[in-house]
A and B are shown apart, each in its own frame.
Chain A
Amino acid sequence: MQLVAENLTLERGARRIANGVSFVLESGTALLLTGPNGSGKSTLLRALAGYLRPSEGTVKVRGENGAFEGSSESGEVAEVCHFVGHLDGIKTHLTVKENLAFWATYLAGPADAKQSTAHRVEDALEQFALDALAEIPAGYLSAGQKRRLGLARLAVAKRPIWLLDEPTVSLDVASVKVLTDAIDAHLKAGGMAVIATHLPMELASVRSMQLGRAQVPA
C-alpha cells in the first residue's frame, strides 16, 4: 500500500501554509515531519486525513501494484487512517475502559473481525500500561495518562496509516519507548505513519521531511 500526496497546496484563510508538497510513502516506512512552529505540520496532517480540502493537489491511497484505492476527497483515506491530534478525544465522564471500548467498536473494520472487542481493548490497555487505570473515569487521569489513552486508540482497531501530531507531548521516557515500540511494530506489519514532531524519534525505518523551507523529502 502507498500513501501518495501530489503537489499539495494548503491555505488557511488567505494565508498559504504549504506549497507544492509531494511525497510517496511506502508500506513499512514512517515519515517524520519537522519544522518550526507554524510551518504547517498540523495543517498537512489534517489535509492527509481529509479534514482540510487542499486548494490544489490530491492525497491518494494506492493498493498493491499501483491499483487506485481511494482519495481523501471522498473520505476513503480517512477510513484507513488513525488520526491522533493535539486533543486526545477522551470523554472525561467515561472510564478508561469505556472510552477504549467505544473506539474499538466505532473504528472497527473487516481486519478486526478476528478478535472480539473486549479482547482488543484488553490488549490495548496492557500495551499502553493503562490496565491498572481501566475502571477510573478518564477525567481523573494526568496529562500524560490521557495522552496514553488517546494513543491506545491506535491499538484497538487495525488501520494501515497512522497520522500522529506531536504524539510524545507530555509523555514520560518509558511511555515514549512504548509508543516507539508500537510504531515500529506497526511499520514491521506493513503499516505507515506520518508523524509531526519536534523531538527526534528513534524508529527503524524512517524518512524525514522539513517543512517551512524547501518542501521535499530528504
Chain B
Amino acid sequence: MSAFLALLSRDLRLAVRQGGALGTALGFYMLVVTLLPLGLGADLNLLSRIAPGVLWIALLLAALLSLGRVFSSDYEDGTLDVLATGRLPMELVVGAKALAHWISTGIPLALMAPVLGLLLNLELSAYPLLFGTMLAGTPAISFIGAVGAALTLRAYRGGLLIALLVLPLYVPTLIFGMAAINGLLGASGTMSAFLILIALSLASVVLCPLAAAAALRLQMQ
C-alpha cells in the first residue's frame, strides 16, 4: 500500500513540477471551445443546444493530449524497469499512474467545463449535471487511455496512434454522458444513464489495468 501511495504522490508531484501537461490540456480545451462559436456564428439557441456535446468531445480530445506521457516518460528514463522490480504488481503500477492522470488532468478538465459552458450559453440548470457526469466519466477516460498508452509505448508517433486506438473505446462513455445531460429520457432516464456512466468508469478502473499491464510487460522485453 505504501508503494502504491508513494508512486501516486510521486506522479502527482511530477505533474505539478513539470506543469506542461496540465497547462496544455486546459489551454487546448479552452481554445477548442472558444473557436467553435466563431466558426458557427452567434446563434445562441444553437450554441446552447450543442454545448454539452461540444464540451464532452473537446474534453476527450484534451485528455488525449496528455495520455501519451503516462508511461513513455518512465520508459525513456529507465524508471519503468525499476518499477517492475517492485513488490507492487504491474497492474497496480498502472492503476496508480492512471489514477494520478485522472487527478492531475481529468478533474481539472471537469472543473473547467462549467466555466467554458458560459461561452456556449449553456442553460444554468444543466451545470450540476454537466459537472457530475464529467466527474463520473473522466476516470474511464484515464484508465481506458492507459491501455492505449501502454500499447503504443514504443511506437513511433505513439501519441497519434493512441487517439486512433482509444477514441472508439470512449464511445460508450460519451453516449451515456450525453444521455444523462440531455434529459431526453426523462428524469428516471437521466438517473439510469448516470448510473451506467458510473458503472463504465468502475469497470474500466478494474479491467483496464489488467490489459495495460499485459501490454507493458510485452513492451519491456
Residues of A within 8 A of B (CB): 46, 49-53, 75, 78-79, 81-83, 85-94, 98, 102-103, 105-109, 150, 153
Contact = CB atoms under 8 A, between A and B. Distances in A.
A19 B197 CA distance: 52
Interface of B: 2-3, 6-7, 10, 13-14, 17-18, 76-79, 81-89, 220-221
Contacts of A107: 3, 82, 85-87
A215 to B, nearest CB: 21
Given A93-B14, A102-B6, A79 B77 contact: no
Contacts, number: 75
17 contacts: A49-B81, A51-B220, A51-B221, A75-B89, A79-B85, A83-B85, A85-B81, A87-B76, A89-B77, A92-B77, A93-B14, A93-B18, A102-B6, A106-B7, A106-B83, A108-B2, A109-B87
Contacts of B3: 105-108
A89 B81 contact: yes
A178 B87 CA distance: 28
Contacts of A93: 14, 17-18
B2 A105 contact: yes
A53 B221 contact: yes
Contact of A78 (B10, B78, B85): B85
A83 B82 contact: yes
B221 A91 contact: no
A87 B78 contact: yes
Contacts of B84: 49-51, 78
A194 to B, nearest CB: 14
Nearest to A150: B78
B85 A87 contact: no
A83 B81 contact: yes
A89 B79 contact: yes
A43 B221 CA distance: 9
A87 B83 contact: no
Contacts of A98: 13
A21 B111 CA distance: 57
Given A94-B17, A106-B3, A108-B2, A87 B10 contact: no
B209 to A, nearest CB: 16
A206 B58 CA distance: 60
A91 to B, nearest CB: 6
Contacts of B10: 91, 94, 102
6 A-B pairs with least C-beta separation: A87-B78, A105-B6, A93-B17, A89-B78, A89-B82, A89-B79
Given A81-B85, A94-B14, 15 more contacts: A51-B81, A51-B221, A78-B84, A79-B85, A79-B86, A82-B85, A83-B85, A87-B78, A90-B78, A91-B10, A91-B77, A94-B17, A103-B82, A106-B3, A108-B2
